[in-house]
Amino acid sequence: MKKTIALVLAVILACTTFMLAGCGKKATGNDTTSDLAYIKSKGTLVIGITDFKPMDYQDNDGNWIGFDADMAKAFAESLGVKCEFVEIDWDNKVLELNNKSIDCVWNGMTLNDEVKASMDCSNPYCNNAQVVIVKKDVADKYTTIDACKELKFACESGSAGEKEATAKGFTVTPVKDQATTLMEIKSGTADAAVIDKLMAGAMVGEGTDYADLTYTVDLSSEEYGVGFRQGSDLVAKLNDFFTASLADGSMEKIAQTYNIEDTLVK
């Protein structure tokens, strides 16, 4: 009888061990589920952004619009999911991505070496440059990099603008986002800013809230891309979507809405 009981217990133990091992393998499989399967299972593509006209900004009803926002909505629709926008601290974009607080960074992001090393990125879709912003009444004094070195700059923390300003030897104070840099100049707490040329075209000069500001020196040329988690299969999906959107004219139509059609990478 004792031998029988021992045998039964041994069989139960073996079965239990096998089941646990099987469960463990299944959990590992879930951990490595593709990003595409992940966003489809939750039904939402979460986009990490900052307030950045003309790429991502809010209309009078609080809805996110802009070239990037509209393209993101169209991409999400092509995948059969909804699109959600989350404002992030730009310095924490990789952390937010890896923690799955967001599914991608789609916000006029410069494809520099640091970005490419920490994310898997889409093909470039827009050309851009970093430019110096100053008040119009002093613009003629600051048309060279050397002349700009006497100014106090505000730059978005962790941005391509901050990197360029620092590399050029400018005196830089980091702030929350690019929109804040313009407020710093207007209030007099900064003399200048370095921001994306695409943003400058939409937010400074005649007909804008910053009619007394303008841009002078181009500091760099660059390209925008979208960042995903490393190993994400959404990269290939987005690249295919970009190719199709260029071919059918829908990308250019959205770009025309925001007057940036000349910047598209074709």
Q: What is the pLDDT of residues 172-200, one digit of tens each?
A: 999 999 999 999 999 999 999 999 999 99
Instruction: State residue 254's pLDDT score.
Output: 98
Give the chain's radius of gyration (CA, Å): 24
- pLDDT of 17 > 50? The answer is no
**Which structure tokens are listed for 249?**
């004219």
pLDDT at position 32, please? 54
pLDDT in tens, 231-245: 999 999 999 999 999
Strands 82-87 and 44-49: parallel
Domain with CATH 3.40.190.10 in the chain: 36-127+224-263, 128-222
In the three-class reduction of DSSP (H, G, I as helix; E, B as strand; rest coil), residue 30 is classed as: helix
Q: CB-hemisphere CA count at 13 Å for 193?
A: 34
Report the pLDDT value the prediction gives residue 18, as an integer from 0 to 100.
38
| pLDDT at residue 11 in the model | 42
Q: How many residues can be counted in the chain?
A: 266
Mean pLDDT of 63-85: 98
76-95 pLDDT per residue, tens: 999 999 999 999 999 999 99
Burial class (CB in 10 A: 0-12, 13-18, 19+), 206: exposed
The pLDDT score that the predictor gives to residue 232 is: 97
- Which residues make Cβ contacts (< 8 Å) with residue 194, sequence separation at least 6? 130, 131, 132, 133, 153, 155, 161, 162, 164, 165, 170, 181, 219
Instruction: Kindly report the average pLDDT of the chain as a whole number.
Output: 90
**pLDDT number for residue 4:** 45
Homologous superfamily of the 128-222 domain (CATH): Periplasmic binding protein-like II (3.40.190.10)
Q: In CATH terms, is domain 36-127+224-263 a member of 3.40.640.10?
A: no
Within the chain, strands assigned E span 44-49, 57-58, 64-65, 82-87, 104-110, 120-121, 126-135, 152-156, 171-175, 192-196, 213-228
Per residue in 123-162, pLDDT tens?
999 999 999 999 999 999 999 999 999 999 999 999 999 9
Give the count of alpha carbons within 13 A of 33, CB side only. 12
Instruction: Give the three-class secondary structure for 125.
Output: coil
In the predicted structure, residue 251 carries a pLDDT above the cut 90: yes
Confidence of residue 33 (pLDDT cuts 50, 70, 90): confident
Is the pLDDT confidence value at 29 over 50?
Answer: no
Residue 12 pLDDT class (50, 70, 90 cuts):
very low
Average pLDDT over residues 217-241: 96
| Residue 27: pLDDT over 60 | no
